Amino acid sequence: MADLLFCSHYPFTQQAKEYAAQHRLELSDSIVEKAEARLQDALASGRIKKAADLPSAQEEEIAIYAVARMVVSAANNRYLIRRYALAEAKRAGEYLSSDLSSHPEYVEAVAGELGLKFEKQQEGFLIPFAQYLLFTPRSVDYKLSNRELAAGKVRVGKQERIRILEEAVRKRIESSLPMKADFPQSISLAAARISALIPRLEAQAVRIGQENYPPCIRKLLEDLSLNINVPHTGRVVLAMYLVNAGLPDDKIVELFRPAPDFSEKTTRYQVEHIRKHKYRMPSCSTVDGYGLCVAECRCGNPMNYKESVHGRRLKELEKERKA
């Protein structure tokens, strides 16, 4: 028998799908409206509100999740898919954190559902090397050089395990969308309304001499433009570079807008903070330590890239002339 509380906390699981099929949850106007509100929250704040732990609300939560997926699929927009998957993953992460003490069996069930093999060891866990690489956030905190590796397994703490599970949830939901189906009119209309709320990012693309940006900065900008969730260290490095490159705050904020978890208030505060305190661009070795270096530029600091590359090219031309 399906555990309704578990299914409402984790509606992306097979158990929740089976519950929905067995109980034939209906596609009512109310459910469509609530699914649309769920997507509005995901777009506006990157968060999805938790449901009340009442049987009626729990069953409704499963239906709302299923309908939200239909609306996202009907809209078929990459930015919406990534923003929504991230919001659902954050919601799951909040439940996983609270269920560690109240329902530890739920955490184990989610890990099993996602195919993640954690081995309990003392106060932490061991996870296979390949799974660690696949499901850890792109952050210096999870860089493999900072980890204990033994017998093909990596040690992680309790909350790190939750963060890895959260990332696995995000990837599962994102990879499963859009669904291919003929949706009823109520879903198509909801998708049209949600689509109208999506920022027209492609039309607002900013090109400001990016041919002179170093590869690491170009890669960060490319990831943002593709709605990829750039890690916090990457965002700070990018903001510092753009501030030091002379871009105004409004232009910088717009460059960050495609991020799946974009918050204009937070982004603007961080950019203004960097400018106010005159943070200087970190060296290439520091950028490499953050796991953000993507080429051997030999410029010492990303701010020196243009001068360094052009200088080397002039020397090469001079050598060719004298040869």
- pLDDT higher than threshold 80 for residue 292: yes
The four Cα atoms 281, 265, 292, 210 give a dihedral, to 10 degrees, of -70
The residue extents of the domains of the chain are 4-195, 208-322
| Cβ contacts of 49-52, under 8 Å, gap ≥ 24 | 50/91, 50/94, 50/95, 51/8
What per-residue confidence (pLDDT) applies to 320? 56
- 48's CB contacts (< 8 A; 6+ apart) are 38, 41, 42, 87, 88, 90, 91
What per-residue confidence (pLDDT) applies to 203? 32
- 92: number of Cβ within 10 Å: 26
Q: DSSP for 279-303, please give it.
A: PPPPPHHHHHHTT---S----SSGG
Pick from 110-114, 183-187, 294-298: least confident: 294-298
- pLDDT higher than threshold 80 for residue 31: yes
* Helix or strand (DSSP H, E) at 67: helix 55-75
User: pTM of the entire structure?
Assistant: 0.72
What does the pLDDT average to over 10-30? 91
Residue 306, CA distances (Å) to 31, 89, 172, 247, 252 in order: 55, 40, 40, 16, 20
* 261 vs 72, higher pLDDT: 72
The segment with the largest mean pLDDT, out of 68-72, 125-129, 273-277, is: 68-72
In one-letter notation, the amino acid at residue 257 is: R
- pLDDT higher than threshold 80 for residue 208: no
Q: What is the CATH number of domain 4-195?
A: 1.20.930
* 113 vs 313, higher pLDDT: 113
What does the pLDDT average to over 198-207? 48
The pLDDT > 90 percentage for the chain reads 55
The residue behind tokens 């909350």 is 159
- pLDDT higher than threshold 80 for residue 23: yes
Pick from 33-47, 98-112, 251-265, 295-309: least confident: 295-309
What does the pLDDT average to over 14-34? 91
- pLDDT higher than threshold 80 for residue 174: yes
Q: CA–CA separation, 230 vs 255, rounded Å?
A: 12
- pLDDT higher than threshold 80 for residue 207: no
What per-residue confidence (pLDDT) applies to 209? 54
What per-residue confidence (pLDDT) applies to 210? 65
Under the banding of pLDDT at 50, 70 and 90, the label for residue 222 is confident
Under the banding of pLDDT at 50, 70 and 90, the label for residue 323 is low
pLDDT averaged over the chain? 87
